[in-house]
């Protein structure tokens, strides 16, 4: 591979196409290349998906997503070629809202693709959980989700090769199953398995329909040529779903009826489903879902710009923080408990910190003080409260009493409060400073006298 090759970061392990060897089933515990399969996540129309691990550079365990061609399709050169197209395309993409492709290889007669593991929740499950709770995503969270999706689509649609020629990539399968949202509010667009691009060697034949019913554009459902406006239509169906709680074609149960309605543009308007919806937001959705591709937004950026203007008009602040908060609200079981702070010790030889306990308090009345060998009771005008450093239950007669500050000491002169001493010191410092300032401002006779004599002496 050359330096300008968009697939230079993709590692190839073995022949990229299907080989003449028996097809092997993959189960948890098997090793596929350098990856150990942990569990099966699911399967699609062309591949099944596993979670796997491999040993990192520093001995740590890394998680990946492992996609393998379905066993019944492994011997088909057409499907093997499509799988290779997906690997090449995924490797050429680099965007925060897209997963990273690590490796493309062959194992047991089946091609596999290792990709970045994204710990997130499918949008399909988010919508389902919201329905269970009879709620929807907050509008600011919805607009942030759509903003990330449209930014990602804009990047994909405008991508060029090393020579500057547009790749003309169309995802063709933007649906709730292919969107993951992480706990931190990040969106990932998955599965370019049926994407259309100029770099692909295997092109979909005219009349063949690829995509998910309910999210296909009218031209896509009729098997016609598609362009980036097909993904704009899919984005409109997702926005319709998020703000109303139902998809535009969910009122239909039969597959042929869904295809017919999709091809003819027959579906209820958003405000017919939810009359409280803002009319401006309905206008944006209806333009994205226009029957004719020429009536839709020409680019993903154009649709994103109108959503941003609407957010400003509606006084909303779409943010990742809002989307993350909505995820915590819908999936509290995914919230990890906070760890207790660890106390760092400065030295293992440090002395233990003593635990100080307050000393008990005893009140001495005039009669008790007069009966003792201390000063006269007439010196006290009210009962005195003193602290006992080591008082024991029951008390002893020979325990030493410590009088509070400012009370007359037994057998001596009264003590001076500490506040008085501090006040006196501050006053003395102020007086010394004042005297110094006055002395510095007084004129000097030694310097002025010669000058006076100079001006007063006759010439």
Q: Which of 5, 78, 161, 173 is catalytic?
A: 173
Q: What does residue 389 show for φ and ψ, rounded to 5 degrees?
A: -70, -40
User: With left for phi above 0 and alpha for psi between -120 and 50, is residue 444 left, alpha or beta?
Assistant: beta
Token reading at 103: 């490796």
Cα distance between residue 123 and residue 263, in whole Å? 25
Q: Which of 282, 312, 306 is nearest to 146 (CA)?
A: 306
Cα distance between residue 78 and residue 56, in whole Å? 34
DSSP 48: E
Q: What share of the chain is helix, strand, coil (3-state, %, to 5)?
A: 35, 15, 45
Token reading at 199: 């770099």
Beta-bridged to residue 116, according to DSSP, are 64
Q: How far, in whole angstroms, is CA 234 from its chain's centroid?
A: 25
> What is the crossing angle of helices 139-157 and 300-313, to 10°?
160
Q: Which of 278, 276, 288, 273 is nearest to 310 (CA)?
A: 278
Q: Which of 251, 250, 247, 219 is nearest to 232 (CA)?
A: 219
Q: How far, in whole angstroms, is CA 269 from its chain's centroid?
A: 34
Beta strands 101-107 and 11-13, pairing class:
parallel
Tell me, yes or no, if 173 is annotated catalytic: yes
Q: Which of 172, 66, 175, 67 is nearest to 122 (CA)?
A: 175
- Size of the chain in residues: 459
Cα distance between residue 242 and residue 209, in whole Å? 26
Coil vs helix vs strand at 190 = coil
Q: What does residue 8 show for φ and ψ, rounded to 5 degrees?
A: -70, -20
Token reading at 332: 């509290």
Return the active site residues: 173
């Amino acid at each position: 591979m050359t330096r300008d090759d968009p697939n230079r970061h993709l590692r190839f392990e073995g022949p990229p196409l299907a080989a003449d060897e028996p097809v092997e089933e993959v189960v948890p515990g098997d090793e596929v290349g350098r990856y150990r399969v942990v569990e099966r996540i699911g399967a699609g129309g062309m591949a099944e998906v596993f979670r796997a691990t491999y040993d990192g550079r520093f001995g740590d365990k890394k998680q990946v997503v492992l996609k393998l061609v379905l066993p019944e399709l492994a011997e088909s050169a057409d499907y093997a070629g499509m799988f290779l197209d997906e690997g090449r395309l995924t490797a050429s993409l680099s965007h925060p809202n897209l997963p990273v492709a690590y490796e493309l290889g062959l194992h047991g007669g089946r091609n596999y693709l290792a990709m970045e593991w994204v710990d997130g929740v499918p949008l399909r499950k988010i919508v389902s959980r919201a329905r269970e709770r009879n709620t929807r995503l907050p509008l600011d969270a919805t607009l942030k989700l759509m903003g990330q999706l449209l930014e990602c689509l804009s990047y994909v649609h405008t991508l060029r090769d090393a020579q500057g020629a547009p790749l003309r990539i169309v995802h063709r399968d933007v649906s709730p199953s292919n969107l993951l949202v992480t706990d931190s509010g990040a969106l990932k667009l998955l599965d370019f398995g049926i994407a259309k691009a100029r770099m692909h060697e295997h092109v979909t034949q005219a009349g063949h329909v690829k995509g998910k019913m309910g999210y296909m554009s009218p031209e896509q459902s009729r098997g016609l040529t598609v362009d980036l406006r097909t993904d704009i239509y899919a984005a409109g169906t997702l926005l319709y779903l998020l703000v109303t709680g139902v998809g535009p074609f969910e009122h239909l149960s039969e597959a042929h009826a869904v295809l017919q309605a999709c091809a003819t543009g027959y579906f209820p308007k958003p405000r017919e489903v939810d009359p409280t919806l803002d009319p401006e937001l309905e206008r944006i959705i209806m333009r994205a879902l226009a029957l004719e591709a020429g009536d839709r937004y020409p680019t993903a950026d154009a649709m994103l710009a109108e959503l941003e203007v609407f957010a400003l008009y509606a006084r909303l602040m779409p943010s990742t923080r809002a989307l993350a908060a909505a995820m915590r609200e819908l999936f509290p079981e995914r919230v990890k408990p906070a760890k207790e702070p660890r106390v760092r010790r400065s030295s293992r030889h440090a002395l233990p910190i003593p635990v100080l306990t307050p000393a008990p308090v005893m009140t001495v009345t005039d009669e008790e003080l007069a009966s003792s060998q201390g000063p006269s009771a007439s010196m006290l005008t009210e009962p005195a409260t003193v602290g006992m450093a080591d008082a024991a239950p029951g008390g002893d007669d020979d325990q030493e009493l410590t009088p509070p500050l400012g009370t007359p000491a037994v057998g001596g002169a009264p003590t001076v409060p500490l506040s008085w001493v501090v006040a006196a010191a501050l006053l003395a410092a102020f007086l010394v400073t004042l005297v110094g300032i006055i002395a510095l401002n007084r004129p000097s006779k030694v310097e002025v006298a010669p000058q006076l004599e100079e001006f007063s002496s006759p010439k």
